[in-house]
């Protein structure tokens, strides 16, 4: 397998076509469709960020809402208090998240907290931080933090104030960058190290890999990427509440797409986000016809179960096979 066929021609064409279609989408799509697409891309982006840690390096984090929240609050609070441009806020958020990630990583990996225990450690940190933010007045505590709304008609990219279309292109760019970044990571030394650790940590260790360092790199990269998603949420929503941004629900939502799509694969998070959103929307429509609230969620649970039962590896490996895109392994 050479670099050239890491992405076979057919797949490259497919991807470029997809990208072109997405880039042209605002011309055709209405605001509703656009907001759905933003949801999809945001979920795909966050899923890819989580995938670095879990899918590539095999470290199960159930508390990624922590990094979403830190990124959102760092960017949001700096902007709300000092008018700091989001790009600077993004940097701050990435640093804070990376630090938080390395604290959790150091503690978890050094003390050999593994598997489910590690996952619960990450939840504990996220919940801990949620309660902390609930009481931190500078960021509005539980009353929430509000970003000033601009009334200018023009999009202001540098301050991330503007129309849905602008936000759409921002998240499209972020998702595309995350995809390319993930691909680059997988094709590099660290990517191979991660996969080795994911498959068998002891064997990886015996091959001279600095396992601790590799895992730390995964956590830090994943946390920083996730925090950027948080920043997007902050500026897109304009208001932040610890209760929702740090919630376990968000952590779960964030990884659901990736697991459904195909954990550890490059395209899985994207496919999973599309599939889940489509499922959600379809169920909303069906639910509206049945006319009982809650049917949607039940059907959602059932669908999830069915996918897990029949495609535990996710949809993408299966679909890739059906589409005969198996040229590269991923």
Partner 1 sequence: MDATFFMNVISAGLLTGLVYGLMALGLSVIFGVMRVVNFAHGDMMVVAMYATYLLYTKLGLQPLAALPLVAGALFVFGYVLQRVLINRFLGVTEHIQFLLLLSVAIIITNVVLMVFGPDARNIQLDASFESYSLGPLVLDKVRVIAAVGAGCVAALLWAFFRYTTTGTAIRACADNPVGARVVGLDVEKLYAVTFGVGSACVGAAGCLLLLLVDVHPHLSSDYTLLGFIIVILGGLGSLGGALLGGVLVGLSEALSGVLIAPSLKTMFSFGLLILVLLLRPQGILGKKP
Partner 2 sequence: MSGPMLSVENLGKSFRGLRAVNAVEFQVPRGDIVALIGPNGAGKTTTFNLIAGAFPPSDGRVTLDGADITGLDQARICRAGIGRTFQIVKPFAGLTVEENVMVGALRHDGGDVEKARKAANDILDLLELGDKALQPAQTLTLPDRKRLEVAKALATRPKLLLLDEVMAGLRPVECDRMVAILTGLNKEHGLTILLIEHVMRAVMALSDHVVVLHHGEKIAEGTPAEVTSHPKVLECYLGEDHG
Partner 3 sequence: MSDHTQNPSTSKGINRRQFATTVAAGALVTAGGLPIRSARAATPLKLGVLLPRSGHLALIGQACQRGIDVGMPILRDMGYSIELMNADTESNPDVGRTQAEKLIREGAHMLLGCFDSATTLAVAGVAEQKGIPHVVNIGSEPKITEQGFKYVFRNFPSAPTLGRQGLMLYKDMFAASGVTPKTAVLLHINDSFGMGMLGGINALMPKLDLPFTIVETIGYDPKARDLSIEVAKAKAAKADFTMVVTRLNDAILLVREMVKQQVETMGITTPGSPGMYEKQFFKALGKYAEFCTTNVPWFDPKQEVGNQLIHAFEKAFPEESCDINVSFSFEAALIAADAHKRAGSTDPQALTEALRTTNITKRANLGGAITFDAKGQNVNLPSAVVQNLGGKPTVVLPSQSAEAKLAFPMPGFKNRT
Placement of tokens 């797409």 in the chain: 257
> Does residue 83 interact with partner 3 by CB under 8 A?
no
146, 203, 305, 306: which one contacts partner 3 (CB under 8 A)?
Answer: 146
Q: Could you list the residues that contact partner 1 (CB under 8 A)?
A: 54, 60, 62, 107, 111-113, 115-117, 119-121, 123-125, 127-128, 131-132, 134-135, 248-249, 252, 255-256, 259, 263, 292-295, 297-298, 300-302, 304-305, 308-309, 312
Q: Residue 67 touches which of partner 1, partner 3, partner 2, none (CB < 5 to 8 A by kind)?
A: none
Closest to partner 1 by CB, 135 vs 188, is 135
| R_g of the chain, CA atoms, integer Å | 20
Q: Which helix (DSSP H) or strand (DSSP E) does residue 26 occupy?
A: helix 9-28
Q: Which helix (DSSP H) or strand (DSSP E) does residue 205 occupy?
A: helix 201-206
**Residue 229 backbone phi and psi in degrees, to 5:** -60, -40
Closest by CA position to 70, among listed 44, 95, 87: 95
Closest by CA position to 70, among listed 48, 93, 50, 86: 93
The single-letter DSSP state of residue 149 is P
Closest to partner 1 by CB, 184 vs 252, is 252
> Does residue 25 interact with partner 3 by CB under 8 A?
no
Over the window 177 to 206, marking each residue x when it contacts partner 3 by CB under 8 A and - when it does not, the resulting string is: ------------------------------
Q: Minimum CB separation from partner 3 for residue 135, in Å?
A: 8
> Does residue 4 interact with partner 2 by CB under 8 A?
no
Q: Minimum CB separation from partner 2 for residue 313, in Å?
A: 10
> Does residue 264 interact with partner 2 by CB under 8 A?
yes
Write the CA distances from 119 to 60, 162, 208, 297, integer angstroms: 5, 37, 26, 25
Over the window 142 to 181, marking each residue x when it contacts partner 2 by CB under 8 A and - when it does not, the resulting string is: ----------------------------------------
What's the rounded Cα separation, in Å, for the pair 287 and 163? 31
Q: Residue 193 touches which of partner 2, partner 1, partner 3, none (CB < 5 to 8 A by kind)?
A: partner 2
Q: Write out the two tokens for 204.
A: 């990886």
Q: What count of residues does the chain have?
A: 330
> Does residue 204 interact with partner 2 by CB under 8 A?
yes
Instruction: Tell me the H-state helices in 111-210.
Output: 115-134, 164-186, 189-199, 201-206
> Does residue 199 interact with partner 2 by CB under 8 A?
yes
Q: Compute the half-sphere exposure of residue 58: CA atoms within 13 Å on the CB side of its CA.
A: 18
**Residue 312 backbone phi and psi in degrees, to 5:** -60, -25
> Does residue 239 interact with partner 3 by CB under 8 A?
yes
Closest to partner 2 by CB, 81 vs 188, is 188
Secondary structure in 3-state letters for 135-146: CCHHHCHHHCEE
Other C-beta atoms closer than 10 Å to the C-beta of 73 total 30
Residue ranges that bind partner 2, judged by CB under 8 A? 1-3, 187-189, 192-193, 195-196, 198-200, 202-211, 264, 329
Residue ranges that bind partner 3, judged by CB under 8 A? 30-32, 34-36, 39, 131, 134-135, 141-144, 146, 148-149, 151, 163-164, 237-239, 241, 243-244, 284, 287-288, 291-294, 296-297
């Amino acid at each position: 397998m050479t670099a050239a066929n890491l992405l076979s021609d057919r797949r490259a064409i497919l991807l470029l076509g997809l990208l072109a279609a997405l880039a042209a989408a605002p011309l055709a799509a209405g605001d509703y469709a656009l907001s759905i697409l933003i949801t999809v891309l945001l979920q795909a982006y966050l899923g890819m960020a989580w995938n670095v840690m879990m899918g590539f390096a095999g470290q199960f984090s159930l508390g990624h809402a922590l990094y979403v929240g830190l990124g959102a609050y760092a960017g949001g609070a700096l902007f709300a208090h000092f008018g700091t441009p989001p790009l600077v806020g993004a940097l701050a958020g990435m640093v804070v998240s990376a630090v938080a990630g390395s604290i959790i990583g150091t503690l978890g990996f050094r003390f050999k907290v593994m598997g489910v225990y590690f996952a619960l450690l990450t939840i504990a940190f996220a919940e801990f931080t949620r309660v902390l933010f609930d009481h931190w007045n500078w960021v509005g505590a539980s009353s929430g933090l509000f970003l000033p709304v601009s009334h200018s008609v023009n999009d202001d990219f540098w301050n991330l104030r503007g129309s849905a279309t602008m936000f759409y292109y921002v998240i499209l760019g972020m998702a595309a960058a995350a995809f390319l970044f993930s691909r680059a990571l997988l094709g590099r030394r660290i990517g191979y190290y991660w996969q080795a650790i994911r498959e068998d940590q002891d064997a990886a260790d015996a091959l001279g890999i600095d396992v601790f360092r590799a895992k730390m790199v995964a956590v830090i990269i994943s946390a920083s990427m996730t925090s950027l998603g948080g920043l997007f949420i902050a500026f897109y929503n304009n208001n932040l509440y610890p209760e929702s941004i740090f919630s376990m629900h968000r952590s779960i939502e964030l990884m659901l797409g990736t697991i459904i799509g195909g954990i550890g694969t490059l395209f899985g998070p994207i496919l999973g986000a599309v599939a889940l959103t489509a499922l959600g929307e379809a169920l909303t429509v069906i639910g509206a016809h049945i006319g009982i609230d809650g049917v949607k969620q039940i059907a959602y649970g059932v669908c999830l179960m069915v996918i897990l039962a029949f495609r535990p590896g996710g949809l993408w490996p299966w679909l890739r096979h059906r589409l005969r895109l198996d040229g590269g392994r991923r």
